[in-house]
Structure 1
């Protein structure tokens, strides 16, 4: 993306002279405010909420505030190269779209729209196991643009292998195994509403489109089961299951399969017993590059590379799993310091702006995953909104590089950021 920043600014300002303002805000605070206005209470609780008291989410952002960028003058960085080599493929920028589950809470066919928005900018999209459109449809929407697949390790090993095989067939550039969600964290905003999208059949499209999963469901559907009490809430839930399940609504409403699919998913989608022994089998199960997501300590990062994975994502799941956990950015700096320059470290949790991307790269990330902001862009303007958010983040990264003298991503080094003293409370 040569001159991404200047080109983006020019496009916005030229449109402004004609009286047109950006449909998608260029700052995160306004982007978040507008996305919240168009979201339901249930959608906002799930997408924007965090674990417990929200301390990990706040800590993720506070960690960025503890680092300041150090501009360098008269560096002559006229031409800048934002491209990176990542797992054998040259990418236009060090930004990927993180996997986000149940995106259809924010609008229909969310994963298809996000896939198209990512493809429009050449940005890799990591399809979520908890997506709302099958990975095959998303891959078709992206054409030749890069895509990865994120896997939640099921308690059914046949299903694990089936999902991996499908990822290989759609041309995924990597398999990203999420480690930190063997059980759902304590999420009060969802709990206070009694709202779990998967319980209504939302966000399970990778499963209902999977042949092994359908075999498991068919076997379970034939078993005797307790009929739910007929209440208004139960009726709404059954209607939602029928609406979200593949196939005609009225046929689904008469069938036991949608409900059995939801119950089966909730039983087997994740494996609470996931261990390093499971993970060590990955290199025998797939030829795809393997990435482990959710690493927060040097010891776990070292263990991951010892079993042969190709990269790790330093992440605390955007603050959604453990309250009062370490900030992901603090973990990144420590892991890079201990493991040295060679291992491939990706980063997510707290990235909001191009300046954030710059800071994460300076502290050791090879690339970053952009999460909530791209889903907010989708909520406001569909695929176009996703692409606009990506362009804005990359443009600010490019301009920050120009103003700090970094000609390429390798030039974003540790000396371009400086730790700030902790703020003191009170008058002392």
Structure 2
């Protein structure tokens, strides 16, 4: 190995060590500065549930614990390649009040596993996080400091202290032992991070019962999706039969009559041909409308951003649109998101009595979030057949969730989320009013 290659190897090793040591320090810091306060907050808020105050505090505290656990899942995947799937049950429809959200969180076994991980990580995260940096720094001290101090000078603790009394042999022992510790510190970083990731997966990954529950949920979701798809196909068939097909039949009859009248009644034939032209135009218009209802062209051409802005322009009231999407989702996801927003805007126009509405689309932490709100009368009930149940079924096919907040008097805010990845980065257009 040449001197240049050796230098590059040492540089790479040093950079990896700095990265692993920094990540270990982050784990150690979070295990104390984040885990302990969150644990105290969660336990205190749960203890206050019987007196009522905890009903307001506990959901926020438990969701903060969940956010910290999700952060650890992300670090485990990014730093060590250890995937930790999220075992959480989706929020049930209408879980908007603090009491119902608390009931949902307490009924989810993953919430209690998060709390167990929070407790266990406090004594585990600190020593594991500090280990790579401590070994390296202490080993360098054994090489650069301990051998050169005279025995008369008092010297801390550890294996270097007695070795100094052995003269030259002790000095050599300090250097050898210190070098071994330093090299060990340089090499143990990835193993320590992966060990902590595996420890976290042991507590945070879905259990067998959770997996069975998830399979049951997916089975139910698939059944609902199949039913919804069948209903959509029946609607398309009905629209074709009653609309475009009937017009095409009439078109064929008019052309046939025109052929018979061409010689003996040219004027009547021209009238029939004119009617046939009008009928063909109406049939084409209906077919275009049907295609737009299946997959709108604006969605294919301009993506979800342009499609939602086009929906906002068609609404008979001002709509503020904010879109922050660094890329595009897969076509089925975009279609589901588009029609979910379209249904919500239709509800705003029909039922809310609002003077203004707003739409916020953004993507973060692997989720596409769509927020549709209005300043109308409020009181929206998902169980009252307002179209929200249809949105829930549509999004459930993609493991999505829908949360409605609509107190009497307003405002109404519907938050819809779909787990997905984006591809094809692009520069988002400036947000503003449509």
TM-score scaled to structure 1, two decimals?
A: 0.21
TM-score scaled to structure 2, two decimals?
A: 0.21
